[in-house]
Amino acid sequence: MGNRAQALGGTLLAAAVNHASDRLDLLQRRELIKSERDSEDTRQIHYQPTAVGRALLPVLIEMAYWGAKDDPKTAPPKSFARAYEKDRAGLLAAIKAGSDPSNN
C-alpha cells in the first residue's frame, strides 16, 4: 500500500506543478508577468509583474481582503487583513514596491 500511496503522491505533485506551470505561461502570454532565469542557477526562474500586472494590484488587494473577511476556506493570513484595515494605501504601496508589510 505504501508504494501505491507514494505513486499517487508523485502523480498529484506532478499535476500541481503542471497546473502552476500552465498558469504562469498564461500570465506571461497575457503580459501580466515576465520571467528571467537566475544568472547563477539557470534552473531557477524569477517572475515579476509587468506594468499591466502591477496595474491590477489594487483589484487583487481588494479580492484578497474580501477573502480574508468573508471566505475562511481561501483566506490570506489575518495579518494581511489587519495591515489592510490599518493602512490600505500603505499596504498597496509597499506591495507595489516589492515588500509585504503584513508579514511584520
Provide the 3-class DSSP secondary structure of residue 36. Answer: strand
Cβ proximity of 49 and 33 under 8 Å: yes
pLDDT tens-digit profile of 56-98? Answer: 989 988 988 888 888 878 767 778 888 899 999 998 888 888 7
pLDDT tens-digit profile of 20-60? Answer: 788 889 999 999 989 999 899 988 888 888 999 989 989 98
What is the enclosing helix (H) or strand (E) of 101?
A: none
Q: Which of 72, 71, 73, 95 is nearest to 84 (CA)?
A: 95
